[in-house]
Structures are given as structure tokens and as C-alpha cells.
Amino acid sequence: MNKDPLQRRGFLKSTAAAGATWAAASMAGGDAPNAAETVAAANSVAQIETKADVLVVGGGTAGTIAAIQAARAGAKTVLMEQGSQLGGTMTVGGVAFPGLFHAWGKQIIAGIGWELVTKAVEMDGGKLPDFSTPPPRHWLHQVLINPHVYAVLAEEACRQAGVTICYYEFPLSVKSAAKQWLVDAVGPGTRRAVQCSQLIDCTGGADVVGMLGFPRLREEETQPGSMLYKFGDGFQAGRERLSAVYVHGADSSNSVTRTQANLTGRQEILSRLRARRAGGDKRARLVQIQPEAAFRESYRIQGEVVITHADYVTGRVFDDAVSYAFYPVDLHTRSGVRPKPLAEGVVPTVPLRSLVPQDSRRLIVAGRSISSDRLANSGLRVQATCMANGQAAGAAAALAAQRSSTPLDVPLDMIRETLRQHGAIVP
């Protein structure tokens, strides 16, 4: 311990939290702690114990909807998100044009995702496309939303449903014990032990499934990610789309690969800005850049069933279908993308078994990492589809928790009925 009174005073001044602790102790009539003790208290990690029926990991496109559905169906629900807001690729990634909710002139996806999207459009004074006839290009039926409005509305809906949101936290380990999951999670200054009956992995890369050692699918080559930005005088959220640079090799596996994707994306945008200015465009300004790169493709689960390209393009109606999907086959490569629209009248479906990792119990997945081959996934990964399967996962997990069971043992009729009660369209 530093014995010099002056130096000691200086040291304590430099730690505001430590000073506050000492002041509180003095006011309470206690002895002022020595410097070493004070610093230890300031750095201590809060240990939190949380019991829940359902833990959703990942508060993105699918996870937000899964959590709201689970909570509205009566489950005590915790939503753990490593970032600081909800919406994932839609908001933080800047891909703020969810689709597709309609196929061939008819709505095929509704429910909680549609509720939030339409509320966001209304609150922003925006406009929905005319869905009455199939558009000449699929993207004309995407709904342009203001991502800031969407994120706060999603947060409000979670809170109103009673979801406990844990920002800045992520699981370190997940263990199974006596029909419960024990999840050890960390965040800055916190360590949380979650005990829950059901787990929903909505991380976009099946991170939890990987931690548990269940098989995942991923090819050598993956689609590029993108970093979204805008050059110009200003950016009108909810009124225009951002520009994007491809980030080839973008990989969401871990913090090192995610960092690399951000560095590559930002450097490319900087190079473009320099080139514009060097080319004489002195008014070129970077007015918007998203905080992180967005990933198109990562790990998918090996589920109880794998949706194949043939299933997707023929619109196979699975016996255990819980939601629809609709989008062209949309595989981005180094040379760009040529979406292959579905044949007229085709509307693919998503079976419950494609959300469940093979041979797992009390574990379900939603979002882009559902069990599918690469080509089928290039169409299934879009936002409306992720929202719809997120709602299905939330309903299945909540019912499984109530019955001390596993999602695949819940009678399908019960899951479908719960989904309908909460506004979803079920095949």
C-alpha cells in the first residue's frame, strides 16, 4: 500500500468510484477503507442470479420477436443481447427494409413482426408499399422503416410484455442439469447465472448451439457481408436506403473475425471517400456509417430436418410447417447477385423441425441460422421470414416450458393455435 499521504490522496482522487465509496462509508459512520480495499470494491463484479422459463440469446431480427411471443404466451422471459439495442441486422446493421410479408397479392407473414413494422412506419409518417399485386421486382415489396423508431418500439414491446432485457451480456458457458439450463453469462461489471427451462438461440450464427457441441453447417465459401454507409449532405432514416460495400470473407464466428470485418468495411469506405475527394468532389462527406458490418451467412444448424433448395423452390408444405417464407433465391458472390425469383404461386414453408438442432432437447433456434442447405438459406435468411420463425420458436418454447417438456413434444395444434392467437399466419 502507498504510505505517502499526498500521493495516496492523489491516487484516490483519480478513481471517482473509489472516492464515492469512501464518502459513503464516512457518511455512514464507518472507517474509510484503505486504498487497496477501495480499488477492489470499485472493480468488483456484480453476481446476479436469474431464473426464467425461457432465455433468448440474441436480440436481433428474430430474437426480439421470439422473446415478445414467449412473454406474451405467459413465459418468464429473459432476452440477452451483446449489443446495446434491439433489432440486430435491421437496426445496427442498417438493413432497414424488411421483407417479404406478401406473396402473389396475399399476406403470408403477419404477427408480432408485422405489428412492429407497421407501427414503426406509422410513427415515422412513412408509407407501406401497395401489396395488392406482385411487383415487377421483389424489393419493391420490402418495407422501408426508420431503424431508430423500430428499435425503441421493439424495446417498448418487450418491456410491456414483461421481458427482462440484458444488454451487453453474452453466454460464456451453457450446461444442462436436471431439465434445466445453467447459463453463465458475462457483461461489463456483471456475471449472471441464468437458470432456465428453455433456450432460444437467435445469435444469427447458432453460437449457443455451437457452444453445446451440436453439429452446425457451413461451407468453405460464404456470401460477403456488407458495411452500410452514406456519402452526401445528410441521411433521412426511414426515407432512403444506405449504400453498401461488400466485405468479402466477413465471418461472424468470434470477436476477432467480427473485428476484421469492421476494419475491412470501414477501410473500404474511407478509400472510396478519399477517391471521391481526390477526384474533385470536395462536397463528398461521410454522413452515415453503421456501427458494425452486417453478415449474410454464417453457421446454420443441422436440424431434425434440413430444408433443401428443392423444398424451397417447389413450395413444399411440411407436415409441421409453422410459418411461411417468401423471397427469391438470393446468393451473393464475388461478382454480385442475380436473384432467382420463385415460380408463380410458390410459397415455401418453414417446418418446426428445422428450428430444432438434431437430437437436442429444450433448445430451439430462430433467424437466419435455421436448418437449410445453402441455396435454400439464401432465400430463407430474410427479415420477415426470420420474424415469423422467431415467433414460432417463442411460442414453442413457452408452451414447452409450461409443460416441462421440449418444443418437439408440444402438440403442433397447440403451437399453431398460440401463434394464431398472437396474430401469426400459419400454413
The interface region with ligand FAD, picked from 19-27, 71-79, 96-104, 270-278 by CB under 6 A, is: 96-104
**Smallest distance from ligand FAD to CB 296, Å:** 4
| Residues in CB range of 365: below 8 A, 6 or more apart | 200, 201, 202, 206, 209, 301, 303, 355, 356, 357, 371, 393
What is residue 200's three-state secondary structure?
strand
* Per-residue 3-state assignment (H helix, E strand, C coil) for 64-94: HHHHHHHHHCCCCEEEEECCCCCCHHHCCCC
**Smallest distance from ligand FAD to CB 84, Å:** 9
**Smallest distance from ligand FAD to CB 44, Å:** 23
- Nearest to ligand FAD by Cβ — which residue? 60
Identified binder of ligand FAD from the candidate list 294, 307, 352, 426, rule CB under 6 A: 294
Q: Does the footprint of ligand FAD cover residue 116 (CB under 6 A)?
A: no
Q: Where are the beta strands (DSSP E) in 261-407?
A: 286-289, 300-301, 321-324, 349-351, 363-365
The Cα 247–Cα 236 span in angstroms is 24
Which residue is listed with cell 486504498?
35
CA neighbor of 167 nearest in space, from 137, 197, 187, 142: 187
Identified binder of ligand FAD from the candidate list 11, 97, 167, 168, rule CB under 6 A: 97
The Cα 420–Cα 426 span in angstroms is 7
**Smallest distance from ligand FAD to CB 274, Å:** 23
Q: Does the footprint of ligand FAD cover residue 80 (CB under 6 A)?
A: yes
Identified binder of ligand FAD from the candidate list 62, 96, 200, 269, rule CB under 6 A: 62
**Smallest distance from ligand FAD to CB 48, Å:** 16
If the CB atoms of residues 367 and 394 are measured against ligand FAD, the closer one turns out to be 367
Q: Does the footprint of ligand FAD cover residue 57 (CB under 6 A)?
A: yes
Q: Footprint of ligand FAD on residues 369-398 (CB under 6 A)? A: 381-383, 386
Helix intervals (H) in 124-197: 147-161
| Residues in CB range of 409: below 8 A, 6 or more apart | 400, 403
The interface region with ligand FAD, picked from 47-55, 91-99, 254-262, 414-422 by CB under 6 A, is: 91-99
**Smallest distance from ligand FAD to CB 239, Å:** 16
The Cα 381–Cα 327 span in angstroms is 9
- Indicate left, alpha or beta for 332 from its phi (over 0: left) and psi (-120 to 50: alpha): beta
The Cα 376–Cα 323 span in angstroms is 15
If the CB atoms of residues 10 and 291 are measured against ligand FAD, the closer one turns out to be 291
How many residues belong to the site for ligand FAD (CB under 6 A)? 37
The interface region with ligand FAD, picked from 26-34, 92-100, 127-135, 338-346 by CB under 6 A, is: 92-100
CA neighbor of 237 nearest in space, from 170, 151, 111, 331: 151
Q: Does the footprint of ligand FAD cover residue 61 (CB under 6 A)?
A: yes
Q: Does the footprint of ligand FAD cover residue 354 (CB under 6 A)?
A: no
| Bridge partners (DSSP) listed for residue 184 | 173, 193
**Smallest distance from ligand FAD to CB 261, Å:** 11
Q: Which residues bind ligand FAD (CB under 6 A)?
A: 57-63, 80-83, 88-90, 93, 95, 97-99, 142, 170, 202-204, 207, 225-226, 244, 294-296, 367-368, 381-383, 386
